[in-house]
């Protein structure tokens, strides 16, 4: 289980450039016995026929991660870049990155503190002041390795640590992808379509195409969501709490859970003594926003794994939350009734 998470999180898959992580998902999904295909958008769709086949259920997780795209190369060989997806620019200084298909190493830099004016030291450094240093001394030398339009991702390893915790990049939403791969190992009464979607981080684009094609009777989106149970954050702003179990959402900025599915999910957790929590903040959104309004509408619900420091190179997750999300989803799918 941890080995799959390690492979998925360490793979490069910035939005619009998901090839490396898609190849891993294809390899692992085929091993489950599912019928696997890739649509023109780049989504991986793994389908398994059910015992009765009376309904079709879609489960979805996005394979893309936040990152960067090289916008220009300066005369001195430094790379200017733009963010792809929502990234807090305050975390970027001195972070290591990998660029392009060859994974060229680089470091995000800025003028040293010794050279900054007093006013500069007291203000947040803007992204336009940053650059990526690959050790080149000229534009010509840099272009031997990197071109404008190349993607860059955080260079971060998967590391188990502490009390059953892991650190990695892209737990949003490679954790969800790993959970889908576990769920594909089972056969259910209904037809199952597991969708590993692309381009979620810039507008839920892959899910829109996948849902239109699949025409599901209902859908469950598996996400990695914000967890802010840290010092100096008021309790009512924690959103979720690490170690308290999978988070069930009733609403966010992109979708509203179908009431009957929300009730079924909560009842499933309680019936099987699976720890769970209700997401307490409605900020953000995910693929459910596109799936819910596909064609004539799709009853949808979101279940998430709490992750601290999301959209950074050092996201953090409790493995018990991850395992309990798998448990909850297995039991839910075994007994769910489509609205």
Q: Report the half-sphere exposure of 31 (CA within 13 A, side-chain side).
A: 11
Cα(318)–Cα(323) distance, integer angstroms: 9
- What mean pLDDT comes out for the span 31-54? 93
Mean pLDDT of the chain: 93
pLDDT band at 121 (very low <50, low <70, confident <90, very high): low
Active-site residue, 331 included:
no
**Which percentage of the chain shows pLDDT scores above 90?**
81
Question: What angle is formed at CA 31 by the lines to CA 311 and CA 306, rounded to 5 degrees?
Answer: 25
Please check the confidence at residue 33 and state whether its pLDDT lies above 90: yes
Q: What does the radius of gyration of the chain's CA atoms come to, in whole angstroms?
A: 21
DSSP annotation of 282: -
Q: How confident is the model at residue 194 (pLDDT cuts 50, 70, 90)?
A: very high
Q: What pLDDT, in 10s, does the model give residues 264-273? A: 999 999 999 9
Confidence tier at 106 by pLDDT (50, 70, 90): very high
State the burial class of residue 285 (Cβ atoms within 10 Å of its Cβ: 0-12, 13-18, 19+).
middle
Taking only the tens place, the pLDDT of each residue in 215-260 is 999 999 999 999 888 888 887 778 899 999 999 999 988 899 999 9
Catalytic residue among 200, 201, 208, 223: 200
| 126 pLDDT more than 90 | no
Domain(s) labelled CATH 3.40.630.10 in the chain stretch across: 2-65+169-335
pLDDT at 51: 85
**What is the location of CATH 2.40.30.40 in the chain?**
68-154
Give the domain 68-154 fold.
Elongation Factor Tu (Ef-tu); domain 3 (2.40.30)
CATH number of 2-65+169-335: 3.40.630.10
Which DSSP letter does residue 191 get? E
Going by C-alpha positions, the residue among 6, 76, 17 that lies closest to residue 206 is 17
> Model pTM?
0.94
Predicted confidence at residue 116, as pLDDT, reads: 64
Angle at 98 between CA 94 and CA 104, to 5 degrees: 115
């Amino acid at each position: 289980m941890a080995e799959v998470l390690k492979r998925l999180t360490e793979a490069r898959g910035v939005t619009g450039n998901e090839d490396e992580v898609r190849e891993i998902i294809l390899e692992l999904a085929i091993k489950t016995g599912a019928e696997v295909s890739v649509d023109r958008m780049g989504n991986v769709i793994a389908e398994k026929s059910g015992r009765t086949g009376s309904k079709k259920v879609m489960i979805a997780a996005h394979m893309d991660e936040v990152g960067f795209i090289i916008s220009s190369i300066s005369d001195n060989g430094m790379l200017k870049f733009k963010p792809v997806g929502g990234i807090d620019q305050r975390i970027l200084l001195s972070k290591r990155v990998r660029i392009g298909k060859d994974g060229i190493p680089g470091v995000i830099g800025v003028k040293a503190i010794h050279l900054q004016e007093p006013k500069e030291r007291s203000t947040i450094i803007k992204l336009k002041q940053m650059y990526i240093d690959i050790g080149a001394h000229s534009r010509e030398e840099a272009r031997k390795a990197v071109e404008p339009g190349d993607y860059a991702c955080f260079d971060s390893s998967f590391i188990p640590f502490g009390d059953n915790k892991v650190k990695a990049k892209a737990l949003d939403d490679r954790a969800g992808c790993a959970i889908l791969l576990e769920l594909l190992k089972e056969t259910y009464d209904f037809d199952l379509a597991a969708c590993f979607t692309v381009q979620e981080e810039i507008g839920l684009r892959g899910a829109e195409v996948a849902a239109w094609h699949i025409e599901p009777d209902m859908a469950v989106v598996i996400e990695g969501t914000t967890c802010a149970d840290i010092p100096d954050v008021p309790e009512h702003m924690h959103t979720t709490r690490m170690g308290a179990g999978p988070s069930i959402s009733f609403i966010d900025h992109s979708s509203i859970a179908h009431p009957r599915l929300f009730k079924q999910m909560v009842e499933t957790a309680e019936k099987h003594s699976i720890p769970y929590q209700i997401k307490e903040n409605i900020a953000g959104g995910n693929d459910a926003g596109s799936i819910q309004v596909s064609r004539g509408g799709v009853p949808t619900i979101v279940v998430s794994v709490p992750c601290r420091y999301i959209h950074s190179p050092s996201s953090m997750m409790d493995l018990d939350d991850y395992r309990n999300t798998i448990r909850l989803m297995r039991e839910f799918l075994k007994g769910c009734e489509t609205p």
